[in-house]
Amino acid sequence: MTNIQIQAVTTSQDREMFLDVPAMVYADDYNWVSPVRSDVTKKFEPSNPFFRYGKMQQFIAVNQGRKKPQAVGRIVAAVNQRLIEREGKNIGLFGFFECVRDLATAQSLFNAACQWLREQGMTRVRGPIDFSTHNNCLFLVDGFDSPPMVMMPYNPPYYPEFMEQDGWEKAKDAYAYDFPVNQSLAAKFEKAYRIACKSGITFRPLRTKGEGFEQDVNSLYDLFNRAFADNWSSTPRSQKEFLEEAKSLQSLVDPDVFPVAEDNGEMVGFWMGLPDYNIPLKHVGGKLNWLGILKFLWYRRQINQGRVIAMCSLPEYRKKMVPLALIYLGMQGGIKKGKPYKRAELSWVFEDNFPSRKLIEAAGGKVYKIYRIYEKSLT
């Protein structure tokens, strides 16, 4: 491509072209599930809490060799001040990357993002991360033969090739585990549940309505901050950010696959399962207008799998078998009479999170997709 121009997104027309890129890149990819366009748009609105502690610049690669200019690639460079403060290094981010299969175009986008980050005083860049790891992040590097589950990334196989050819280094890998639901758990998991109950731990489904929902979300927020405070490249969210995200998922939760553990009324652990809503979203085409909503509701009936987004227990409750008990309850909830789940995915888990990996693999989980975050020096 010889007529490609990299330009910063500054106008409403630029923003529309930015949003149009994925549909062109994945036009012939059966496994791709279009993100909801309005959700992506909101991430760049001033109301996004990210802009209280971060800044960013969008770029598009525009093919000027057509009667009507068309964006054939995009990228966002971002500075997350919370990440810089936490790591003590001037680390910038890139995210929202999409590009046609043309290395020169991809390199031009990377160069534009890196140059902007240098101008902000950054000395290293990490990605793909859409503002923070709480949002979409990671490139898929192995396991392209099936669609992504809900809230998981997906990309063409040539994206990792771009990264290697442009001199990026692996920062860290993450795994997605496949769980066949029809496979019986080892007896030790049910035994762990009974031990936990005898030690005074109580278990119940997450509440999804009214004041009970807000109370549970506040407890989840506290637990996330305590249990995942040291996660790599992670930054703390405000309680308001967490509540807003939870409310967006409230109507999608299946309480039977979202058990929580309590000790004297205090939440000490949870197993966060969610039906795979990518199955109906695949038919929506990124637009939740009245027709899209009707399609979503119709194809929602085809959901037959789920994703376990997170599993958590405070360290002091591991001896009381809470983690194994939560696995047992989560899997039992998925196979209850009338439940549609045939398989589950637990994702994502960093490669060096050995305690979690040991538990997951003991429960029968097998790695079936591998994801990667990359880094590069800017000096």
Q: Which class for 338: exposed (0-12), middle (13-18), buried (19 or more C-beta within 10 A)? A: exposed
Secondary structure (3-state) at 138: coil
How far is residue 368's CA from residue 370's CA, in Å, rounded to a whole number?
Answer: 7
Q: Which residue has the tokens 């390199």?
A: 107
Closest CA to 375 of 126, 165, 106, 174: 126
pLDDT digits (tens, 9 = 90+) for 211-228: 999 999 999 999 988 888
pLDDT digits (tens, 9 = 90+) for 357-368: 999 999 999 999
- The one-letter code for the residue type at 1 is M
pLDDT digits (tens, 9 = 90+) for 191-209: 999 999 999 999 999 999 9
Average pLDDT over residues 266-291: 94
Neighbours of 139 (CB within 10 A): 22
How far is residue 102's CA from residue 106's CA, in Å, rounded to a whole number?
Answer: 6
Task: List, in sequence order, every residue forming a beta bridge with 313; answer none if it has no partner.
Answer: 269
Look at residue 1 in the predicted model and tell me its pLDDT. 62
Q: Using 50, 70 and 90 to split pLDDT, how confident is the model at 241? A: confident
Residue 229 has pLDDT above 90, yes or no: no
pLDDT digits (tens, 9 = 90+) for 94-122: 999 999 999 999 999 999 999 999 999 99
Look at residue 238 in the predicted model and tell me its pLDDT. 83
Look at residue 66 in the predicted model and tell me its pLDDT. 73
User: Would you say 235 and 78 are in contact if contact means Cβ atoms under 8 Å apart?
Assistant: no
Look at residue 85 in the predicted model and tell me its pLDDT. 94
Contacts of 107 (CB under 8 A, 6+ apart): 162, 166
Average pLDDT over residues 69-95: 96
How far is residue 317's CA from residue 321's CA, in Å, rounded to a whole number?
Answer: 7
Ordered by where they begin, the domains of the chain are 4-137 (3.40.630.30), 179-377 (3.40.630.30)
Secondary structure (3-state) at 349: strand
Average pLDDT, the chain: 94
Terminal-to-terminal C-alpha distance of the chain: 29
pLDDT digits (tens, 9 = 90+) for 251-277: 899 999 999 999 999 999 999 999 999
Task: List, in sequence order, every residue forming a beta bridge with 373; answer none if it has no partner.
Answer: 172
Residue 310 has pLDDT above 80, yes or no: yes
How far is residue 18's CA from residue 154's CA, in Å, rounded to a whole number?
Answer: 18
Closest CA to 111 of 43, 56, 61: 61
Residue 69 has pLDDT above 90, yes or no: no
Look at residue 2 in the predicted model and tell me its pLDDT. 67
Share of the chain above pLDDT 70, in %: 99
Q: Which residue has the higher pLDDT, 69 or 83?
A: 83
How far is residue 62's CA from residue 165's CA, in Å, rounded to a whole number?
Answer: 22
Average pLDDT over residues 293-309: 94
The CB-based long-range contact list for 186-193 (8 Å cut-off, 24+ gap) reads 186/362, 186/363, 188/324, 189/324, 189/325, 189/327, 189/328, 189/331, 189/363, 190/328, 191/321, 192/321, 192/323, 192/324, 192/325, 192/328, 193/321, 193/324, 193/325, 193/328, 193/329
Average pLDDT over residues 114-143: 97
pLDDT digits (tens, 9 = 90+) for 348-357: 999 999 989 9
> DSSP letter at 123?
S
